[in-house]
Amino acid sequence: MEHRSDPFAPFINQKIAPPALDTPTQNFKLVGAVVVGIERVAMVEAASGKGFYLNKGTRIGRSVVSRIEEGEFRLTETYRIATGRIVIKEIKMPLKKEGDK
């Protein structure tokens, strides 16, 4: 019984690799949001069907998860345009209902 995992350990604490940094944000859909302690965690599904847990501050490509709410999560994307000006763009990712495309 030396190398067995604890059957009573919470599964949500398992570390799952975050999505690849170059994955476009439009390839994700919000499946749900849960509260773990005092923190909200977004459950998203990639176009490949693989699921991920995202916390506030998780990076996806050029975006960072800035807010997680019950029906959506928001990403903040910061980039520099050709003139040198820095642009900050907020992207809302709403919860997709069953049957939505």
For 22-49, the pLDDT digits (tens) are 556 667 888 888 888 888 998 888 888 8
Predicted confidence at residue 21, as pLDDT, reads 43
Q: Which amino acid is at 24?
A: P
Residues whose CB falls within 8 Å of the CB of residue 83, separated by 6 or more in sequence, listed in order = none
Residue 90: which pLDDT band, with cuts at 50, 70 and 90? very high
Domain limits, the chain: 18-94
CATH of domain 18-94: 2.30.30.830
CA atoms of 90 and 65, how far apart (whole Å): 10
Among 53, 42, 67, 57, smallest CA distance to 19 is for 53
Does 9 have pLDDT greater than 50? Answer: yes
Q: Are 91 and 64 a contacting pair, CB within 8 Å? A: no
Written as six digits, the tokens of 92 are 């809302």
Residue 7: the pLDDT is 73
Answer yes or no: pTM beyond 0.75.
Answer: no
